[in-house]
Structure 1
Amino acid sequence: MKKFGLTLLAAFIGGGIALGTYKVFENKYTDNMTFQEKQKVYFASNPSAPITSSAGEVDFTQAAAAVTPAVVYIRVTYSNTSSNSDQDQLQQLFGNMFGQRAQPQGVQMASGSGVIISPDGYIVTNNHVVEKADKITVNTNDHRTFQAKVIGTDPNTDLALIKVDASNLPIVKFGNSDDAKVGEWVLAVGNPFNLTSTVTAGIVSAKGRNIGIIGNEDNQDNNPFGRSGNQGQPRAANKAIESFIQTDAAINPGNSGGALVNTKGELIGINAAIASHTGSYEGYGFAIPINLAKKVLNDIEKYGAVKRGFVGVSFTQLDPDVAQTLHIDNTTGLYVKDLVHGGGAEAAGIKAGDVITKVDGSPIYESSDLQERVGELQPGDKVHLTVLRDGTEKEFTVTLKADAPPAVRTAAAPSKSAAELFNKLGASFMPLDNSQKAKFHVKSGVIVTQVRPGRLFDDTEIPVGSVITSINKSPIGSVADMDNAITNTRNGLLVISGVYPDGTSFSNTFQVQ
Structure 2
Amino acid sequence: MSNSSSLVSKHFYLTISVAVLCGLAAGILGEIVTRVYILQDFVAPYGNINLSDLGTNNPGLIIRDAKQVVVNQDLKVAETVNNVQPLLLGIFKEISAEEGDDIIGYYDLDSPLAVGLVITADGWVAAPTSPILSEAFKFKNYVVIANDHRLYKIDKMATSSDGVLLMHLAGTTSWSVKKIMTRADFVLGGTLIDVPGSNTVWPTTLSAWSRETSVLSSESLGAHLVLAGGDKGEFNNSFVFNLAGDLAAIVTDNGKIIPAFSYAPVWSTLSQLDSSGRPLLGVNYLDLSAVKIGTTTADKGNLLYASASQPAVKKNSPADIAGLEAGDIITWVNNQEVDATHDLANILAFYHAGDEVTITYKRDGVEKEVKITLGQLK
| More helix per residue | 1
Indicate conservation of the 8 Å contact 2:238/2:252, yes or no. no
Aligned mates of 1:56, 1:304 — CA distance in 2:
38
Offset from partner CA, 1:195-215 (integer Å, 9 cap, x none):
x531221233446x4336xxx
Closer, same or farther in 2 for the Cα pair 1:120/1:344, shift >3 Å? closer
State yes or no: 1:189 paired with 2:195: yes
SS at 2:270 equivalent: helix
Residue 222 of structure 2 aligns with which residue? 242
Aligned mates of 2:339, 2:211 — CA distance in 1:
13
Equivalences for residues 426-437 of structure 1 within 5 A: none
Residue identity opposite 1:63 in structure 2: T
Residue 134 of structure 1 aligns with which residue? 138
Residue 261 of structure 1 aligns with which residue? 241
State yes or no: 1:383 paired with 2:357: yes
Q: What is the aligned counterpart of 2:166 among 154, 161, 167?
A: 161
- Gapped regions of structure 1 (runs ≥ 5): 1-53, 78-109, 213-238, 407-513
Equivalences for residues 57-136 of structure 1 within 5 A: 59-74=76-91, 111-118=113-120, 121-126=123-128, 129-135=133-139, 136=142
Residue 271 of structure 1 aligns with which residue? 250
Indicate conservation of the 8 Å contact 1:201/1:249, yes or no. no
Shift, 1:116, TM fit: 2.0
Residue identity opposite 1:399 in structure 2: T
Larger radius of gyration: 2
Residue 211 of structure 2 aligns with which residue? 210
Shift, 1:115, TM fit: 0.8
Residue 323 of structure 1 aligns with which residue? 293
Shift, 1:294, TM fit: 4.1
Shift, 1:67, TM fit: 1.0
SS at 2:116 equivalent: strand
Residue identity opposite 1:287 in structure 2: I
Residue 231 of structure 1 aligns with which residue? none
* TM-score, normalised via structure 2 length: 0.57
Q: What is the aligned counterpart of 2:281 among 304, 311, 319?
A: 311
Aligned mates of 1:186, 1:142 — CA distance in 2:
25
SS at 2:277 equivalent: coil
Equivalences for residues 142-153 of structure 1 within 5 A: 142-143=148-149, 145-153=151-159
Q: What is the aligned counterpart of 2:338 among 351, 354, 363?
A: 363
Aligned mates of 1:249, 1:393 — CA distance in 2:
46
Offset from partner CA, 1:203-235 (integer Å, 9 cap, x none):
33446x4336xxxxxxxxxxxxxxxxxxxxxxx
Closer, same or farther in 2 for the Cα pair 1:270/1:198, shift >3 Å? same
Residue 17 of structure 1 aligns with which residue? none
* TM-score, normalised via structure 1 length: 0.44
Offset from partner CA, 1:298-331 (integer Å, 9 cap, x none):
313439988222223233455887624xx44446
Closer, same or farther in 2 for the Cα pair 1:122/1:150, shift >3 Å? same
- Gapped regions of structure 2 (runs ≥ 5): 1-70, 95-111, 214-218, 306-311
Offset from partner CA, 1:250-300 (integer Å, 9 cap, x none):
4975866643222222x32341348xxxx67xxxx623324x544422313
Aligned mates of 1:307, 1:197 — CA distance in 2:
36
Q: Percent identity?
A: 20
Aligned mates of 1:70, 1:210 — CA distance in 2:
29
SS at 1:394 equivalent: strand
Shift, 1:177, TM fit: 2.8
Aligned mates of 1:118, 1:319 — CA distance in 2:
34
Aligned mates of 2:149, 2:362 — CA distance in 1:
57
Aligned-residue CA RMSD (Å):
4.1
Aligned mates of 2:151, 2:232 — CA distance in 1:
23
> Which deviates further from its counterpart, 125-134 or 166-175?
166-175
Offset from partner CA, 1:141-160 (integer Å, 9 cap, x none):
345554424432232x5444
Shift, 1:71, TM fit: 0.9
Closer, same or farther in 2 for the Cα pair 1:130/1:270, shift >3 Å? farther
Residue 371 of structure 2 aligns with which residue? 397
Aligned mates of 1:167, 1:189 — CA distance in 2:
24
Indicate conservation of the 8 Å contact 2:122/2:175, yes or no. no
State yes or no: 1:334 paired with 2:314: no
SS at 1:60 equivalent: helix
Residue 482 of structure 1 aligns with which residue? none
Aligned mates of 2:233, 2:145 — CA distance in 1:
17
Indicate conservation of the 8 Å contact 1:311/1:401, yes or no. yes
Aligned mates of 1:151, 1:204 — CA distance in 2:
32
